[in-house]
Copies of this chain bind each other. A is one copy, B any other.
Amino acid sequence: MNRLEQQINFIMEVDKIKKITRQTYLSDGSRPENDAEHSFHLAMMCFLLKEYANEEIDVLHTMEMVLIHDVIEIDAGDTYAYDSLGNQSKREREVKAAERIFNLLPEDQASYVRALWDEFEEGATPEARFANALDKIQPLLLNDASGGDTWKSHGINISQILKRNERTPKGSEALWEYCKPILEQNIEKGNISKN
């Protein structure tokens, strides 16, 4: 198989993330969103909200990272953020998926994309910290827009959300500050439990 055929194979494989359903609903509450839509939304946010990154970021690099970050879910599935059992086996499932899927690409791109995913997972660069902040904030905005039912139906409490967002202000203080009153309002409405 030549280089372009390998690349197209990967691109057609990636089509499958349009069928990986998340727990988050679209803003109108009509249906859950999928990983392709989520990644599209993060790329758009990356481009339009870059000024709120705590540190200067390479925007293209961050966009590549958000585009690639959920591709492993084609094999590993979407593990709900607050599913503690699922999260125990998550890492192993995802590494196996990364090995299969990224290696559809020519060697140089396979390594590049794997490094992007590792960078996202490790969260140790300004780009990864900002990408992670967007990845946490996007579902929060959608949950709020769709009426808070996702939090409510899963019985989520504020300490779970704060724990999950521990690293969010490290990517963007400004965006995290924007989210705080949204969380407060959803506690008041009874969508997010206080304890």
Contact = CB atoms under 8 A, between A and B. Distances in A.
Contacts of A30: 19
A109 interface: yes
Nearest to A40: B40
Counted per complex, copies of this chain come to 2
Binding site secondary structure of chain A: helix
Interface residues of A, number: 43
A178 B40 contact: no
A145 B39 CA distance: 22
29 contacts: A4-B52, A4-B174, A4-B175, A7-B48, A7-B49, A8-B178, A11-B44, A11-B48, A12-B27, A12-B141, A12-B145, A14-B41, A15-B41, A16-B27, A19-B26, A34-B37, A36-B40, A36-B41, A37-B37, A39-B40, A40-B43, A43-B43, A43-B63, A44-B67, A44-B68, A47-B63, A47-B67, A48-B105, A63-B63
Interface of A: 4, 7-8, 10-12, 14-16, 18-19, 26-28, 30, 33-34, 36-37, 39-41, 43-45, 47-49, 52, 59-60, 63-64, 67-68, 105, 109, 141-142, 145, 174-175, 178
